Every structure is written in structure tokens, then in C-alpha cells.
Amino acid sequence: MAFFSSLAAAIDSYTGLSPAAFFTILALMVSAYRLVSAFFVYPDEESAAKRSLAPQTPPPPEAFSPPPQPVQLGDITLEDLKAYDGSDPNKPLLVAIKGQVYDVSIGRLFYGPGGPYAFFAGRETSRALALMSFDPRDLNSDLSDLSEAELEVLHDWEEKFKEKYVKVGDIVSRKCKDENENESGKETKRDED
């Protein structure tokens, strides 16, 4: 207590101010100093300060590496296409329109997990795109009941995909695929004989 009374007496005798007024003025001066000195930070210091705030762990390399070049898959069934829905990061992202399979890996932000159009990845999207529908029942290629206008919408999507992505295969039925594989197996065998 004696310390505070002698501090108050010292402030009064040196400055002629009450302790409350003295500390208020002191606080105002410190704030003004900090405000003004903030305008005179050298650019280097500023970027160093920003760097020190930046996360210290480097981002994973795959966050910035471009996707690998599209690989031709040839014939693929709707069932096998599902494996290319982005759940396996080592597989390309594929989308089918009108039986044509496109590698949309460069559009991972659209079609990858959590993307707004992840719903289309690994699927035949013709009907859904023609109808601009997010209904899972429209993830197929049944166009039999569509209007001219809806087919036109689908055509525009197809053009967009052709322009932007690489076609890597065609949708075939399981039966057709098995037959083709048997056929090429026979041919290889004939070549060997």
C-alpha cells in the first residue's frame, strides 16, 4: 500500500497529474505509437511475419501435381466404370456420356469426392445431364422418352466434354465385353499356333 501511495505522490510531483489521468495518457501514447509504427514495417519484415504465421507443414505433393495423362481403357462395362468414381485416388476419374467414356481427372474439383458433381463420377450421365437432374434414378442412358429440347441440352454437354476432356473408352455390356475378350483370346492363340 505504501508503494502505491509513494508512486501516486511521485506521479503528482513529477507530472502534476492524478495517477488515473497519468495512466490514461500513457495508454493513449502507447496505442498511438503502435499504430504509427505499423505503417513503417519494411516489406521484408512484413513477409517474414506472414511466413511465420503460415502453416509449417508443407502441403502434400499430390495437392499441386497435375493428374497423370489419360490412359485409353477401351471397352468398359457400367459395373467396372463405378470403380473410377474418385474413391481410389490412384485411379482416374471417369464420366460417361452417350456411351463414351471421358477422363475428367483434370476436373477433380468438380467430380472428385466432395465436389459439386461427384455424383456423376464413375457413372453414365446422359439422362441426368439432358434433364439437368441430380436424381440417382436418372444416372443412365435411357433417352427414349426425352423431348427434342432435352436431347439438345445433352448434345451441348457432349460437345463440352469432347472439347474439354479426353475420350478413353466406350461403354459395352458385360456380355459383349466377354465375347470380345474370348474372341481376342482366340486370335492371340491362333497367332501363337
Question: How far is Cα 135 from Cα 127, in angstroms, rounded to an integer?
Answer: 10
Q: Is residue 117 a contact point for ligand HEM (CB under 6 A)? A: yes
Q: Is residue 155 a contact point for ligand HEM (CB under 6 A)? A: no
Q: Which stretch binds ligand HEM (CB under 6 A): 19-27, 62-70, 128-136, 143-151?
A: 128-136
Which residues lie closer than 8 Å to 109 by C-beta, 6 or more apart? 115
Q: Which stretch binds ligand HEM (CB under 6 A): 22-30, 46-54, 73-81, 129-137?
A: 129-137
Q: Is residue 109 a contact point for ligand HEM (CB under 6 A)? A: no
Q: Is residue 147 a contact point for ligand HEM (CB under 6 A)? A: no
C-alpha cell at 107: 476436373
Which residues lie closer than 8 Å to 158 by C-beta, 6 or more apart? 97, 98, 100
Question: How far is Cα 45 from Cα 121, in angstroms, rounded to an integer?
Answer: 47
Considering only CA atoms, which of 115, 119, 144 is closest in space to residue 132? 119
Q: Is residue 132 a contact point for ligand HEM (CB under 6 A)? A: yes
Q: Is residue 134 a contact point for ligand HEM (CB under 6 A)? A: yes
C-alpha cell at 88: 481410389
Q: Is residue 128 a contact point for ligand HEM (CB under 6 A)? A: yes
- Quick one: 75 or 158, whose CB is closer to ligand HEM? 158
Question: How far is Cα 184 from Cα 30, in angstroms, rounded to an integer?
Answer: 85
Least spacing, CB of residue 66 vs ligand HEM, in Å: 16
Q: Is residue 133 a contact point for ligand HEM (CB under 6 A)? A: yes
**How many residues line the site for ligand HEM (CB under 6 A)?**
10
Least spacing, CB of residue 129 vs ligand HEM, in Å: 6
Considering only CA atoms, which of 160, 183, 186, 188 is closest in space to residue 75? 183
Separation in Å, CA 81 to CA 72, 95, 101, 113, 168: 13, 8, 9, 16, 12
Q: Which stretch binds ligand HEM (CB under 6 A): 53-61, 76-84, 125-133, 140-148?
A: 125-133
Q: Which residues bind ligand HEM (CB under 6 A)?
A: 104, 107, 110, 117, 128-129, 132-134, 164
